[in-house]
Structures are given as C-alpha cells and as structure tokens.
Amino acid sequence: MSMKYVYSKTLILSALLLGTLSGCLSTPEVSVSSLGKKLPAPALKGTSPFEQNIETIGYVQIQGTCDARIGTIYLSFDNKVWHQVPTQPNLTGTSLPANTVNDNDCSNDGAFNAYLTKTDLTNTWGIVTGDNGADVDYIYIKGSTLIGDTEVLTIVDTKDTDGGGSAAATILLEKTWPSGGAGVGKCGYFTVSLVDENLKVASHAERITFNISVTKSGSTSTFRGYNSWSECEADFSSTNNTDSFEVKAHQSSTQIVYRFPTSSVGDTLSFRITNQSALTAGPATNVVLKSTSGPSLWFALDGSPTKIYRDACYPIKVTSRKYSYDSYAHSTDQVALSSTDARVLFYSDDACENTQSTFTFATSTVLAYIKFVPSATDAQSFVPFAISAQGVAGNVNSYDPASFNFSADLTNKNTATKLAIWGASEIANGQCSEFKVVSMNDNGTALPVLATTSINLSTLETSVGTFKTDASCSATASSATIDGGKSEAAIYFKPYSPGTITLVADHNTMTSGSQSVVVKSVPTQLAVTVNNWTYYTCALVTVSLLDGAGLGITAPQNMTLNVDYLTGPTNYSYTSATNHVYPDSSSCVANSGNSNSISFSKDASTASFYIKNNTAGYLGKVTVSTINPLLNISSGTAESTFTGP
C-alpha cells in the first residue's frame, strides 16, 4: 500500500516533549531504562508495507524473522497502543483466499507473517483508510516473552509523498518533569528527540551517538548522566555516570537522567547537544537551579489521562511539588486552570455539572474534572489542546506555571473495548507502587465503562510479587473495580523479585492490557549481626546491605558508615571509655585503632568490624547508619545483654 492513505498517528513535537512524563509518573524513580539486555527486535523480511498499496489490494503483508524464544507479535502505529495481529484476518474487500490466517507466533518457526487488511486496521487499531486519511509514517513491531518485551522494530516510510514523516533532521534536547527548572543536587530528566523539518517526530536508519555540553557563566564542561533514575540516585558521588549517549536506530527518542550540581540557587545552566554522529543539533535548553526547600514550587499532572473522549467527564490531578520532588502546598494557595481550546471546560464535581476554574490546595493535590464539549459542526477526528496551571495572586508560595498537552477524540468509537495498565516502567523491589487499570476504546482513548466492572489482575511470571488494594500495600488483591461512568481504577503492586515482569489486566468482554515493568534492587536498609555478646571478647559485627524486600545487594558506591556502640545499666544511658569499635580482630585484641566509623566498599555485599565490652550484665546496642543523606538508606541495629565468658 501507499501508507499515505492511512490516518496519521504521528505525534506532534510538543506533545512528546511536554507530555512524556506528565500523567504517568507517581514517583521520581520512574525511568524508561530496562534491567539487563532485551531480546532483539523482530527483523523485516520482504517488501516494506510502505511499498504496497492498500487501496488497490485491500491489505498489506508484513513478514519477518524473530528469535524463537519470542511468543506473540504485537503491532502499533504510535509506539504506545499495542495490539496482537488478529489470527483470522477480516478478508472483506480483499482477494485473499478464505483460509488465510496470520502467523503471529515466533515460537513455532522463528518467523511471522501477517496480513493487515483495511477492515482490521479500522476495527483493531482505529486507523481509517481512504482519501480523507493522512500519513502514517511509522509501524512498530515487538515480541512478547516471559522475561519481558523485545526491542522494538520500527518501519519508516522513507518515501513519504505527502509531506509528513520525512527522515529525521534535528536532535532536540529538553528538560522535563519539570521543564526549565531543577533542584540543586537533585537528579532530573532530559528527553532527547529526533524531529523532521516540520518538527514532527522522526527516526534515523542508523543509531546516533552524541555528547552534551553544560555551560555556566561562560564556562563549558562535559555533561555526564545516567540511563535510569535509580542509577542516578545510587551514585551519590557521581562516579558511575557516562558522557556518551545514543538514540538507537529507527527510534525517535531517549531519556537521560542527570544529577544537577550543588551550585547557587538561581544559577542558569545551558545544555546543548554536541559531537552528534549525524543530523543537526537543536538549540540549547536552559535550566534554572532552584532551592529544594522553596519558595519556588512547580506543578505536575499526576496520573491523569491526556487523551479524552468527547462529552465524557475525566478527573485531572494537579500536584504542587518542591524541587526536591516532595509534594507540598499551602492550604490557602490556589491554582488557576485554563485551556487553549474554548470547548474544554473545568468542573468541581465528578458529574461535570458545576463549572470551576480556580481550585484551592486543601492538600498538595488539587482534584478537578474536565470535559471536551464539541460543537455540532466539528469535523475533526482528533483535536490537540493544552491545559495550563498557574498560581494566583495572593498565594503564600510562588508557583512556576506549567502547560500539559492533551487531545480529544471526536470519533464514533464510544464503547470501551480494551484495557491498559498505566504506571511506572521501573519500580524498586519490595516497595509499594501505584498503577492504574484503564478502560479504552479502539483508538486508545480512555473511555468510561457503562456499568461497574471487575477486572482480573495477574502477572505473566510466577512468584514475582502481589497486587494490593491500597497505598500501604496492606491487603492482597486479585481484581480491581472500575466504577460505572469511570474509566480507571487504582491498583498497587509490591514486587519481591528483581527482573522484568509483566502486569496483566483482563476482562471477558474487553481485550486484555499489560504493562512491562523493570524491578530493580535498590539499597534501602542496613542489617547488623553480632556473632557473640560475651564481655572481654572481641566480637565480630557484620553489616549487610539490603533492598526493600530484604534481599542482599552490593553497594553501588564506596560508603562511610557511622557506628554507635552503646552500653549501660539502663537504656544504654552512657558509652564506656573501654568500649571501642575496631577495624579488625588484631586491633581489637591490642585495644588500638578504634574508631566510630567503618568503610563499606563498592560492589561489596557486607562490611565488618569488631567490638569489645569489658563489663558483664550490661545491655549492648550497635547501630550502624550511613553518613551521606543522599543514600536514603535506613540504619540497622543489633542489641543484647553482655554475658560472662
């Protein structure tokens, strides 16, 4: 087909840059990086679908090879909404034999062969063909495995005869979540995007390598960053980062995490793409360093759908955050919401009956509701618009204004036909993380269900964690409930095994939805063990580093730990001069080299030292804690009563 006849799902640049993280991150630990190497993407074989004319023959054929460990093949036109190719294609309007089937399972022979018919494109992906269609510039294909999704194959329309989707021309760098500001000493996100001459999302046939420069007060240095948030947070001494980055072949963007310097508040840093292996670098992006304690705050859009259906009522949550990422707002402060499109209205109630555009922060989050009310003459299928959040005059705190990109679905796809799971792509092992189960129409637009609907929850893998009912993860759940008239339900998941897992939401009348999540072991606590509590004896003390699930983990950096060694007849009321902390047994025997701190080496799983008490019958307590507050690792304690030898 000439894919110019297919309705475009290409995203506009501003939607990518400003909407990348809004509405899908509940904690700053979120990242797009993966744990370990994914299986390679499927490979295209035969004629590109962009060389075939769907208007002439009624279908396009996509063939390829794939790793035999891969199961089902999935296809997308926007790299967001994925569907399995139907096993039995709808052959209406084609000359294909009646017994034609799609081979969408690589595990049989390491290959796939799919016929995408005009009817299936409309029914499954919401893609409309014909003279009124616009360009589809990319087709994305990936495989599903028990250990997570494969890399993504991107097929690009390199001929594009209608002006859109041309090859990438420029590399753009943008500070996100939030835009334009960053807390001193904190980690923050940058998005690197490829765009064409029309500022539309694009890709390149080969991988593009690049560096980034940082300029402050006329002095330029090299930018060193990380592939994920957890890597940045763990590397408190900034020694495990890199200055080399890439956008993979046939991909359109990548994310980089950077720890901002502890410079003076108000300093402006200028970041620029340099040494790119291809294309032209875009303009520099400036970031102002902000205090992590205030007074400047910023607005985040937390967990809200950014693609809404006409005449339906949707909640939006605007959260005020410090530049430390902690949520905070004064109880009398207000935020004013506005839209670039007059057809978007704001409400104070979930029935969208009472219009209101200014809201008070009773907590750090304002809950408002929006509805897109089209006019009788609207002919567009999808309408982009932006919502702005701005503090009002008289607020106690100062709020940096923010803009969030949305779109409205004005099509006739008014039935919820499939499910999705929204949430972080990376979570910490042993910690409680929030996700959302969302009901959607064929276009991938969040759409309310007509009646209260129970959704089954599961994971593709076994023994990797449990779903929970609440934010404290106190009760186990196997299902979630989307109330009638709503399009989402909050769910929680607590993993207890690191690796890549797949969360699944299922219902017998809707296509199931899934979310691939990387579970990382992040150091969160210290454990202390004393091998004996005998006085006049040198006792070995072992300190272990654990993740949130209590699993042992190696240290990401060299750490210095503080040791409190207390004894006393009542509640450890004093420290005896004869009680010492020794680095090794010989020092302990000789009563020399005592200290109140120890070293925990990088990549080590334990550290040890010795203690000696000279009085029987006293209570003993050993507490070990980290000195660097950036580590956010809780202390460990061991205690008992000293006895005679």
Q: Indicate the DSSP class of residue 185.
A: T
% of the chain at pLDDT higher than 90 = 40
Q: What is the pLDDT of residue 37?
A: 46
The residue ranking higher by pLDDT, 475 or 159, is 475
Q: What is the pLDDT of residue 352?
A: 95
Number of Cβ within 10 Å of residue 219's Cβ equals 7
Distance separating alpha carbons of residues 404 and 301, to the nearest angstrom: 8
pLDDT band at residue 166 under the 50/70/90 scheme: low
User: Which residue, among 507, 511, 385, 508, has the nearest Cα to 442 in the 3D structure?
Assistant: 511
Please tell me the distance from the alpha carbon of residue 457 to that of residue 446, in angstroms, as a whole number: 19
**What's the pLDDT score for residue 160?**
46
Give SS3 for 195.
strand
Least confident of 310-314, 438-442, 504-508, 581-585: 581-585
**Has residue 501 got a pLDDT over 70?**
yes
**Confidence (pLDDT) at 26:** 34
CA distance 214 to 497: 38
Round the average pLDDT of the chain to a whole number and report it. Answer: 82
pLDDT value at position 447? 94
Q: How sure is the predictor about 387, in pLDDT bands with cuts at 50, 70 and 90?
A: very high
Distance CA(200)–CA(17), nearest Å, equals: 11
| Whether residue 34 has pLDDT greater than 70 | no
At residue 23 the predicted structure's pLDDT band, cuts being 50, 70 and 90, is: very low
Comparing 139-148, 206-215, 599-608, the range with the smallest average pLDDT is 139-148
Top-confidence residue, 541 or 58: 541
Mean pLDDT confidence for 345-357: 96
What value does the mean pLDDT take over residues 257-273?
92
Note the pLDDT of residue 334. Answer: 95
- For residue 481 the two structure tokens come to 């409930």
Two structure tokens written together for 342: 């007059």
Label residue 559 by pLDDT band (50, 70, 90): confident
pLDDT of residue 2: 37
Q: Mean of the pLDDT values across residues 567-590?
A: 63
**For 332, which DSSP code?**
T
Can you tell me the distance from the alpha carbon of 515 to that of 492, in angstroms, rounded to the nearest whole number? 13
Q: Measure the CA–CA gap between 365 and 232, rounded to whole angstroms.
A: 27
Q: Is 370 helix (H, G, I), strand (E, B) or coil?
A: strand
Highest mean pLDDT, choosing among 65-79, 329-343, 522-536, 611-625: 329-343
Flag whether pLDDT at 325 surpasses 60: yes
CB 91 within 8 A of CB 124: no
Give tens-digit pLDDT for 198-236: 777 788 888 899 999 999 999 999 999 998 887 888 776
Residues with Cβ within 8 Å of residue 226, at least 6 apart in sequence? 187, 232, 235, 240, 241, 242, 256, 257, 258, 259
* Residue 569 pLDDT class (50, 70, 90 cuts): low
5 secondary structure, DSSP code: G
pLDDT of residue 644: 72
pLDDT at 345 over 90: yes
| Reported confidence tier of residue 568, pLDDT bands at 50, 70, 90 | low
- Is residue 455 predicted with pLDDT exceeding 90? yes
pLDDT at 240: 77
Q: What is the pLDDT of residue 595?
A: 77
Global pTM? 0.66
First to last CA, the chain: 87
The mean-pLDDT minimum among 117-121, 217-221, 493-497 falls in 117-121
Q: What pLDDT score was predicted for residue 71?
A: 75
Distance CA 323, CA 297 (A): 6
Confidence (pLDDT) at 221: 93
User: The tokens of 137 are what?
Assistant: 């510039």
Per-residue pLDDT at 128 exceeds 70: no
Contacts of 214 (CB under 8 A, 6+ apart): 220, 221, 222, 223, 269, 270, 271
CA-CA distances (angstroms) from residue 210 to 13, 275, 285? Answer: 20, 5, 16
Instruction: Kindly tell me if the per-residue pLDDT of 244 is higher than 80.
Output: yes
Residue 284: pLDDT band by 50, 70, 90 thresholds? very high
Give the three-state DSSP class for 629: helix
Residue 148 pLDDT grade (very low, low, confident, very high; cuts 50, 70, 90): low
Alpha helices, DSSP H, located in 160-258: 229-234
Average pLDDT over residues 546-572: 79
Query: Given this model, what pLDDT does residue 363 score?
Result: 87
